[in-house]
Structure 1
């Protein structure tokens, strides 16, 4: 379960202080598929980043499956995120000198203290399976800068799923893809939710939001 109480987050800009989240509270059960909606600049991406532990709120509390995220130091927060949360950002943050396959495998290697040949093989098999499920298995040995925006977005989704996280956060996951690919991506998320994983997507895509169980409006 994700439980947030009175989250506040503001930013100081040349225009002055902007309150993005103000006393924002919500509760999400495990296995829910939730859409986060709101106009551009309302704070959807900020909220996902806070849940992922990539940003801290100014105040409030955030508990995920019994763990108080705001009480963790940076090391334990990174470990918790690696083991429990898959994050699909809008920014295509790749290691450009790594192949698609290597980029997808990386979080799994980072999450294992000791990687032997058997572990590496298992990680590689899972990475290839994920790439196949997203229709980009043929791009495994390509480099990110040779892919289209939509292809790179699907690589990000595969990377987010590599550690089989309990929670998947996706910021505009169907951006830069066509309707057929949108339906394919949302079908994957829907299946993961049916398996008991918690899915949160920030989206303006009405087709994607139709398949969510509920919506949180910011």
Structure 2
């Protein structure tokens, strides 16, 4: 018999799959994928798909909009600063990968983008301090809930608020369930693939360095 948490996880997984299928139909034909080299842990889609326009608030107060990530491979992870386990573990693993590709030129170096899905508690300043504690190069951003829902849906991801036992008395007693995979955006800002847990920092770093080199040819 499934418990409540198992049920939520199954709902999230199903919704993520359905969201990706819906995105494929809604946004029309995908752009042809480049012939990228074989990767270890990054699952590249047969076709990369352009993302719809988005606008997020970065930790420095500026807007992160469509096109501003172009020129780099980007790894996008959804989370929140009150997350007890998955978020800090994932950011720590990504920081290991970031350290390994630090020798690449700034103009093409892969980027990690942490997007908080808890704007009620996570101010831009808070998410910046949180993400930069793992690695100073991480881009941290958030937005209002409708904008976050649209952005997550375009990646095939989902998230939802889960009230705690004392939520009725304490509105701050809640958690956020969210997709745990990492979206991979190519240098044209298109959704090109996914990295699914468990994450392997060394393999992620090697894949991203190889893809960065291939994109420059």
Instruction: Name the TM-score, length of structure 2 as normaliser.
Output: 0.24
